[in-house]
Amino acid sequence: MMKSPVSAVATALLIGWVGTAGAIDPSAAFADPALQARYEHLTNELRCLVCQNQTIADSNASLAGDLRREVREMIARGDTEAQIKDFLTARYGDFVLYDPPLSARTLFLWAAPGLFVLLTVGVVVRTVIRRARQPIDADDSEESA
């Protein structure tokens, strides 16, 4: 398989990008791989409040660094994931979580994709039924118009 120069450059860029992702922390936070995994899992689920479109694992903002330190210390202390999330949501609200919990306030957020699917299905079904009922010659004249 021949690779075009464009795809070669794109591949190189992608490899470079993947290579730098997660390079914010200079070294692993924990020697214990299990704790390190928990740390990486959590920091990838928490939003950096300064940049707002990055997780605290991705961001080099000073606040993200402080929040990573906070998470690291709480894991080292043996706090559960729920305790760490409670600590942060008490201060920053649900917005700090990339995966907001289902509550009365977020109900519409969670229901919206389903509502849109229902709406789309409804429109499609209605259109199909209407078209099916139309006489064939009327349909032809519409398409040729």
**HSE, side-chain direction, 13 A CA sphere, residue 73:** 7
Are 39 and 71 contacting, i.e. CB atoms less than 8 angstroms apart?
Answer: yes
Which of 29, 49, 56, 75 forms a contact with another protein (CB under 8 A)?
Answer: 49
Instruction: Judge whether 96 and 49 are in contact, CB under 8 Å.
Output: yes
Does the footprint of another protein cover residue 67 (CB under 8 A)? Answer: yes
Q: Which is closer to another protein, CB of 15 or CB of 107? A: 107
Q: Residue 21 in contact with residue 55, Cβ under 8 Å?
A: no
Q: Closest CB to another protein among 32 and 73?
A: 73
3-state SS assignment for residue 24: coil
- Which of 25, 45, 58, 70 lies at the binding interface for another protein (CB under 8 A)? 70
Residue from 37, 63, 76, 119 binding another protein (CB under 8 A): 63
Give the nearest distance from C-beta 20 to another protein in angstroms: 25
